[in-house]
Structure 1
Amino acid sequence: MGIVPECFITEIVEKDLREGRYEKLRTRFPPEPNGYLHIGHARSIVLNFGLAQDFGGECNLRYDDTNPETEKEEYARAIEEDVRWLGFTPDRVLYASDYFEKMYECALVLIREGKAYVDDLPEEEMSRLRAEGKPSPYRDRSVEENLELFQRMAQGEFPTGSRVLRAKIDPTHPNFKLRDPVLYRIVHAPHYHAGDRWVVYPMYDYAHPLEDFIEGVSHSLCTLEFENNRAIYDWVIENLKGKCGLPESPRPYQYEFARLDLSHTVLSKRKLIRLVEGGYVSDWDDPRLPTLRALRRRGVRPEAIREFVRRTGISRNEALIEMELLEEVVRDDLNPIAPRVLGVLDPLKVVLTNYDGEEWVQAPYWPRDIPKEGARPLPFSSELYIERSDFSLTPPKGWKRLAPGQRVRLRHAYVIELEDVVEENGAVKLLKARVVPGTLGANPEEGPKPKGVIHWVSAHHALPVEFRLYNRLFLTKDPEEGGDFLRNLNPLALEVRRGFVEPSVLQDPKDTRYQLERLGYFWQDPVDSRPEALVMNRIVPLKEGYRA
C-alpha cells in the first residue's frame, strides 16, 4: 500500500507517467511562511511528498514568500522542521523570492507584448470597476509608457500601494479572476530572505505558476479554493512558455483537492493568530491548538497524523471531519506502543488497617491482547491513593467500584473492603479499608467476589505530577456558530489536576507514551516536565465507555 490512498490524483499521475507526458513526477509543498503549519496542511504535505515517494519522483519544499509584510524566518524554519517531523525529506528547500529577478524579466516580456499595463487606480475603485466589468481608464497606456512606469516602480520612485501592474486579459470575463488581475504591487518593506533588493512584489497568481514552471513541477496540487485561479495559472504559463528563459514544454498543470476541515477547532491562520496574540492560548505550541507543533507537544505521533490523512482520503468533496476520527486514529496508533502504568488524577487516600510494611508486586506492562513481554515492580504499602471518583457513599445501581459493603480489586494487587469513612466539612477526606487475605493476584477463594477493578498508587512511593487534561478547543462543531468564534471557546479545554503516578516512569525515556489505566494516554510534557517536577499531558482520552 502506498503512502497516498488511491484517488483521482493518483489515477492522473499514473496515466501521465504511463503515456510519457512527463519523464518523472515532480511535486512541491508550497506554504507561505506567515504562520505555523496546522493539521490541515498535513493533507497537502502527505499528498505531495507521498506521491513523490510512491511514484519514485521528487518533491520540493518551496516557500511561497512573496509578501514581505507578513512573512518571517521564524515561520520558514518551523515549517521545514514540521515537514521533517512528519517523516518527509524535501529533495530541495527553495524560495519563491529567489526567482524575483526571473519574474521581473517575465513581467517586462508581458508588457512589451501588450499583455500587461500599469494601473494608477486606488484599490477600492479598481475593485468596483472589476465587479462592474468595466475597464480601467489606464488600460490603453502605450507599451513604452508601461515599461517606463514599471521600471520606475521597481526603482522605488512611487509610494506603497500607489500603482500596480495588471494583466491585460478581459475586463468583462465571466471568470472574475481573469478580469485583468493584478500581477505586481509596490511594497516598501524589507524581505526576510531577499533583503532590501525589491520594492515591487509579485502576486500569488502570477508567481505561483512561474515557480512551478521554473522548478519543472509536473503536477501542481492545491485546494479547491484555488479552482478559479487555475485560469490565471494557465494564462501565465501559456503566455510565457518558451520566453524569458522558460522552456516550451513540458509545462505543469494544476489540480485541486478538498482541504482537510476538522470539527471543534479552527484551521485559519488569521484565527489562530488571534488566539495566540490575544492570549487565549499560551503560544503556537499550546496543545489545545491544531498546529503541528501543538500536536507534537501534546504527544501525538507523526505516524498517527499520516494515518489520519490516509483514512480521510483525497477527493474533491468537501466535508467536515469529526474530531472523534482523529482521536480514534491517535488511540489506534498509541495502543500497541504505550505501556500500561498506574496513575491517579484526583487522589483520595486509603489507609489499610490490617496491612503493615510494604511489598513490590510484578505488574505486566501489556494486556493479554497485545503479545508483548515486559513488567515492572510495583510498590504496595499500607497507604494508597485511589481515584476520588472510584468511591461512592451512596452508589447508584450497577456501581462496580468501592462503596460501603462492596469489595473491589486493586489492579495487580489485593482485594479490599471498606471499613470507615472519615469526613471533614461534609467532604470525604480519608477512607479506611482492610485487605482481604489471600487475594493477591487472584480472586478470593471464599466470600463475595469483587465487584470491579480500580487503579491506585502507593502513597509512600508515588511521584507527584501535574496532569494537564486537554479537551476540545471549542464547544461547538463549527466555532463560527452564533457569530464570533471566540464566544464558543471551551473554558475546560485545559484542566489541570494534581495527582500521582507510579515511580517506574522515571526509569523510562522521557518521550515514552503511556496508557494510564482507565484514564487515557499520557506522556511527559517536553517543555515543562522535569524529573523533580513531572508534568504529563493527556494525549487523548480512552474511548467513551472504556473505563469500568
Structure 2
Amino acid sequence: MKADELVAVSTSLGGDFKSIEPHLIRLEKHLTLRTYLAGYTLSELDSKIWLAISNNRVAVSFVRKGSYANVQRWFTYVEQAHPEIQAEVKAADSARKAKVQAASRAGASYNLALQEADKGVVCRFLPEPSGYLHIGHAKAALLSDYFAHQAYNGQLRLRLDDTNPSKEKEEYQDAIIEDLALMGVKPDTVTYTSDYFDHLYDTCLGLIKSGNAYADDTDVETMRDERGRGIASKRRERTVEENLAIFDAMKSGTEEGLKNCIRAKISVDNPNKAMRDPVIYRCNPNDAHHRTGTKWKIYPTYDLACPVVDSLEGVTHALRSTEYTDRNPQFQWFLDTLKLRQVYMWDFARMNFIRTFLSKRKLAKLVDTGKVWGWDDPRMPTIRGVRRRGMTIPALRDFILKQGPSRNVVVMDWTSFWAANKKEIDPVAPRHTAISKKDHVKVSVTGDEAPTEARSEDKPRHPKNPSIGTKKVAFSKELIIDQADANSFKDGEEITVMQWGNAFAKDIAGKEPVTGLTLELNLKGDVRSTDKKITWLSTQGQNLIDAELWDFDYLITKDKLEEEDDMDKFLNPVTSTMEEAWCDEGVVNLKKDDIIQLERRGYYRVDKAYNDGDEKKIVLFCIPTGKSK
C-alpha cells in the first residue's frame, strides 16, 4: 500500500464492521512482512491508524479476537512497545467525558446510554430539500453531530430526503449543505434518498408480492376518514397480481396509475394511527425530480424510505423530534418485515418559540406571497434569517446544545436565545455613534475649553477591549444630538457628553421639539455625578455617513399558532421599521456581517456596507439582546 492509501485507511475506519472490513483486509496484506506500516520506527501513519482502530469499538474487537493475525500482531506490538500512544487514547477519552459533563452542568443531560454503542455509533441528519434550514433543523443536526462525533467518536451521515419533486429544489439542497458547514457540522458522508430509488422500488415490489402492501385508489378525504375511524379500505383485499399491475401502471404514469397509491398492509384499527396502513408510494408524472429528472414517475414516501435507507447506510442510532414518536413502531415494522439490520431510535423535543412557526409549508407561503424578503429575511426563523438578524454561529451552537436531547416539550421565549448571543458579541463589538436625521438638534459648544477649530482624536473602539483598536472622533463647536436627549434637559443641568466630558445645558430654545441649545463645557466635572450621558456627532471635521437603521418585530401576533389556524388572520401588519440616521465616519470601513454597537441604541449587524453598490450608505439591522424594549 502506498502512503496516500494508508492515509485514506486512517480516515475511513469508522461506522459498522461492513464498512471497515475492506480496510482491515488491506492492512492484513500490507503487514505480512512488516513490523510497522511505514519504515522501521513508529510513524505518524502507525499512530493515526492505531488510534483510529482503538477508537472504533467494532474494529478493535475484531482485531483482538485475532480475525486478522498480522493486524493483531502489529496492534499489540505498538500497544506494548509504545506506551506513549496510550496517553493519547486516555486524553481523547477524558476530553469526551469532559464535554458530556460540561453539557450536563449547563443544564442538559447527554447521558442517553445509547443501545449497543460499543459496536460503533453512526448517526444521520435527514432534512428534506423543500426549504431552507430553520432553528428546529439546527437542533437535530447539532445533536446528531454531537453524539456521532463527540460523545461516541462515530460517524455522521447527511442524507437529503429528496422524495417529493413537487416541493424540492436544488437551491434548497445546496443551501442546506452550506448552512451545515456554516454551523460547523461536518458530515462524514453526503448521500441522497434518490440514490436508492431503484432499491426502494424493488423493496416495494417485494412488499406487494409478500402480501404486505396493496394499491389503493381511495380519494384523500375518504382515506383520511377511514384511517381515523379504523375502517378498512375497500381495496385492501386486492390480489397480488392486481396490485402488481397497478404498481406498474403507476410506474408508467398512466391515468389508472395516477389514481392510485401503494399502502403498507400493517393494521386497520391500531390505536396508534401511524400504524393504520400508511402510504408508502405515490405517483407523480408531472414534476421532474431535481436530480433524477423524468426517469421516475413514482416516489417512495418518508415512511418507507427512512427505515430502509437508514438500515442500508449503516445508521445505528437515528435521532428525531418527538413529533415522530408515533411512527417509531411503524419504523420497526418495516425493519422486521423486510428483515433489515436494526436501527435504534431516540426522540428529542423540538425547539418551539413563542409567536413563531417552523412549518416549511407556511414559511414558503410567506416567501412566495412577498410577506418577507426571502428565506434569509431577518424575521424568518431560518438559520440564514437569524444570522442575518445578527445571531452568531458560536452562540447558536451553544444555545442549542444547552437544550440537550430532552423529550420535554416546551415553548420558549426568544429572550434567552438573544441573551446568549449578547454574551458572545458584547466583548468584541466596536462602538460607534448614530444620530437620527429626523429627530436631531443642532448644538453650539461654548466655554473656555471649546475647540477654536475642528480637530480629531484617537479613541478606543471598545472601552474594555484595547485589542479592538481605535477610531477617529471629531470635536468642534457644532454638534448634533438626539431630540429625545435635548427634550430631557433642564436649563443649567450638568450632563456628560460621552467621550468628551461634562457640560452645562443652557439657552434651551423650544420644547418638544427643542430647536436649539448651548453646551458650556466643564471638562473638570465628575462624569460619575451626572444622571444623563448623551451621544453626539460633530458636524465639522468629519463626513457624516448616511445610514439606515432597521428594526424588526414578530411575524405573527399569536403566541402559538395551531395547525388548524388560518395563518393570514394572525400575521402582524407591521413587522419592520426603518430610521434614517447619520453615523460617525468610522463606519465606512465596516464590512457586511460585521457586528457593532451603536452607543445607547443597541447592537447592529451590517447588512450592506457603505462601499457596496452605487448608493453610498450603510444599512444596519438591530440585533435583539433579550431585553424588553
TM norm. shorter chain > 0.5: yes
516, 522, 525: which is aligned to 1:431? 516
Establish whether residue 367 from structure 1 lines up as the match of residue 454 from structure 2.
Answer: no
Task: Kindly state the Cα deviation for residue 159 of structure 1 after the two structures are TM-superposed.
Answer: 4.8
Runs (4 or more) in structure 1 with deviation over 6 Å come to none
Establish whether residue 452 from structure 1 lines up as the match of residue 493 from structure 2.
Answer: no
Assess if the C-alpha contact under 8 Å between 1:5 and 1:314 holds in 2.
no
Within-5 A mapping of 1:236-275: 236-241=334-339, 249=341, 251-275=342-366
Deviations 1:27-56 (Å, cap 9, x if unpaired)? 111111111121121111111122222122
Establish whether residue 411 from structure 1 lines up as the match of residue 498 from structure 2.
Answer: yes
Task: From the superposition, tell whether residues 500 and 542 of structure 1 become closer, same or farther in structure 2 (CA, over 3 Å).
Answer: farther
Deviations 1:139-163 (Å, cap 9, x if unpaired)? 2233233223322321223456411
- Which AA in structure 2 matches 1:12? A
Task: Kindly state the Cα deviation for residue 200 of structure 1 after the two structures are TM-superposed.
Answer: 1.3
SS at match of 1:137: coil
Question: After the TM superposition, which of the residue ranges 4-13 and 329-338 deviates more from structure 2?
Answer: 4-13
Assess if the C-alpha contact under 8 Å between 1:518 and 1:542 holds in 2.
no
Within-5 A mapping of 1:159-178: 159=256, 161-178=258-275
- Give 2:326's aligned residue: 228
Assess if the C-alpha contact under 8 Å between 1:470 and 1:493 holds in 2.
yes
SS at match of 1:62: strand
Alpha-carbon distance in structure 1 between the residues aligned to 2:353 and 2:611: 29
SS at match of 1:515: strand
Question: After the TM superposition, which of the residue ranges 36-45 and 355-364 deviates more from structure 2?
Answer: 355-364
- Give 1:525's aligned residue: 607
Task: From the superposition, tell whether residues 199 and 90 of structure 1 become closer, same or farther in structure 2 (CA, over 3 Å).
Answer: same
Task: Kindly state the Cα deviation for residue 103 of structure 1 after the two structures are TM-superposed.
Answer: 0.4
Deviations 1:98-134 (Å, cap 9, x if unpaired)? 1110001111111222211222323333333333323
Assess if the C-alpha contact under 8 Å between 1:159 and 1:186 holds in 2.
no
- Give 1:539's aligned residue: 623
Within-5 A mapping of 1:302-341: 302-341=393-432
- Give 2:293's aligned residue: 195
Task: From the superposition, tell whether residues 282 and 9 of structure 1 become closer, same or farther in structure 2 (CA, over 3 Å).
Answer: same
- Give 2:124's aligned residue: 28
Deviations 1:251-283 (Å, cap 9, x if unpaired)? 212221111001122222122123222222222
Alpha-carbon distance in structure 1 between the residues aligned to 2:331 and 2:626: 47
Q: Relative to total residues, which structure has the larger helix share, 1 or 2?
A: 2
Deviations 1:264-303 (Å, cap 9, x if unpaired)? 2222212212322222222221111111111222222111
Establish whether residue 511 from structure 1 lines up as the match of residue 611 from structure 2.
Answer: no
- Which AA in structure 1 matches 2:315? V
Assess if the C-alpha contact under 8 Å between 1:206 and 1:232 holds in 2.
no
Alpha-carbon distance in structure 2 between the residues aligned to 1:123 and 1:491: 35
Task: Kindly state the Cα deviation for residue 237 of structure 1 after the two structures are TM-superposed.
Answer: 1.1
Alpha-carbon distance in structure 1 between the residues aligned to 2:215 and 2:563: 43
571, 580, 583: which is aligned to 1:498? 580
Establish whether residue 287 from structure 1 lines up as the match of residue 382 from structure 2.
Answer: no
Alpha-carbon distance in structure 1 between the residues aligned to 2:313 and 2:473: 59
248, 265, 271: which is aligned to 1:151? 248
Question: After the TM superposition, which of the residue ranges 526-535 and 268-277 deviates more from structure 2?
Answer: 526-535
Alpha-carbon distance in structure 2 between the residues aligned to 1:119 and 1:490: 43
Task: From the superposition, tell whether residues 505 and 194 of structure 1 become closer, same or farther in structure 2 (CA, over 3 Å).
Answer: same
Task: Kindly state the Cα deviation for residue 10 of structure 1 after the two structures are TM-superposed.
Answer: 4.3
Task: Kindly state the Cα deviation for residue 9 of structure 1 after the two structures are TM-superposed.
Answer: 6.0
Task: Kindly state the Cα deviation for residue 233 of structure 1 after the two structures are TM-superposed.
Answer: 0.7
Question: After the TM superposition, which of the residue ranges 126-135 and 305-314 deviates more from structure 2?
Answer: 126-135
Alpha-carbon distance in structure 2 between the residues aligned to 1:129 and 1:99: 32
Using the size of structure 2 for normalisation, the TM-score is: 0.76
Establish whether residue 348 from structure 1 lines up as the match of residue 459 from structure 2.
Answer: no
Within-5 A mapping of 1:98-109: 98-109=195-206
SS at match of 1:74: helix
Assess if the C-alpha contact under 8 Å between 2:212 and 2:264 holds in 1.
yes
Alpha-carbon distance in structure 2 between the residues aligned to 1:466 and 1:85: 27
Within-5 A mapping of 1:85-124: 85-124=182-221
- Which AA in structure 2 matches 1:274? K
Alpha-carbon distance in structure 2 between the residues aligned to 1:312 and 1:403: 49
Task: From the superposition, tell whether residues 412 and 107 of structure 1 become closer, same or farther in structure 2 (CA, over 3 Å).
Answer: same
- Which AA in structure 1 matches 2:618? L
Using the size of structure 1 for normalisation, the TM-score is: 0.87
RMSD over aligned Cα, in angstroms?
A: 2.7
Within-5 A mapping of 1:134-149: 134-149=231-246
Alpha-carbon distance in structure 2 between the residues aligned to 1:452 and 1:492: 32
Alpha-carbon distance in structure 2 between the residues aligned to 1:528 and 1:41: 34
- Give 2:302's aligned residue: 204
Alpha-carbon distance in structure 1 between the residues aligned to 2:412 and 2:589: 39
Assess if the C-alpha contact under 8 Å between 1:521 and 1:542 holds in 2.
no
Alpha-carbon distance in structure 1 between the residues aligned to 2:245 and 2:572: 57
Q: Aligned residues: percent identity?
A: 33
Establish whether residue 63 from structure 1 lines up as the match of residue 154 from structure 2.
Answer: no
Question: After the TM superposition, which of the residue ranges 156-165 and 56-65 deviates more from structure 2?
Answer: 156-165
- Give 1:16's aligned residue: 116
Unpaired stretches in structure 2, ≥5 consecutive residues: 1-97
Assess if the C-alpha contact under 8 Å between 1:415 and 1:436 holds in 2.
yes
SS at match of 2:578: strand
- Give 1:478's aligned residue: 560
- Which AA in structure 2 matches 1:201? Y
Assess if the C-alpha contact under 8 Å between 2:124 and 2:318 holds in 1.
yes
Task: Kindly state the Cα deviation for residue 232 of structure 1 after the two structures are TM-superposed.
Answer: 1.3
Alpha-carbon distance in structure 2 between the residues aligned to 1:492 and 1:239: 53
Task: From the superposition, tell whether residues 353 and 107 of structure 1 become closer, same or farther in structure 2 (CA, over 3 Å).
Answer: closer
Alpha-carbon distance in structure 2 between the residues aligned to 1:185 and 1:82: 30
Task: From the superposition, tell whether residues 499 and 65 of structure 1 become closer, same or farther in structure 2 (CA, over 3 Å).
Answer: same
Assess if the C-alpha contact under 8 Å between 2:378 and 2:386 holds in 1.
yes
Alpha-carbon distance in structure 1 between the residues aligned to 2:574 and 2:278: 46
Alpha-carbon distance in structure 1 between the residues aligned to 2:406 and 2:211: 39
Question: After the TM superposition, which of the residue ranges 1-10 and 301-310 deviates more from structure 2?
Answer: 1-10
389, 392, 397: which is aligned to 1:298? 389
Alpha-carbon distance in structure 2 between the residues aligned to 1:173 and 1:437: 83
Assess if the C-alpha contact under 8 Å between 1:519 and 1:542 holds in 2.
no
- Which AA in structure 1 matches 2:492? G
Assess if the C-alpha contact under 8 Å between 1:417 and 1:434 holds in 2.
yes
Deviations 1:215-244 (Å, cap 9, x if unpaired)? 111111111111111111111111113xxx
Unpaired stretches in structure 1, ≥5 consecutive residues: 242-247, 396-401
Establish whether residue 443 from structure 1 lines up as the match of residue 544 from structure 2.
Answer: no
Task: From the superposition, tell whether residues 148 and 233 of structure 1 become closer, same or farther in structure 2 (CA, over 3 Å).
Answer: same
Deviations 1:179-215 (Å, cap 9, x if unpaired)? 2222112111211111111111111111111121121
Q: Which protein has greater RCO, CA pairs closer than 8 Å, 6+ apart?
A: 1
- Give 1:245's aligned residue: none
Task: From the superposition, tell whether residues 311 and 84 of structure 1 become closer, same or farther in structure 2 (CA, over 3 Å).
Answer: same
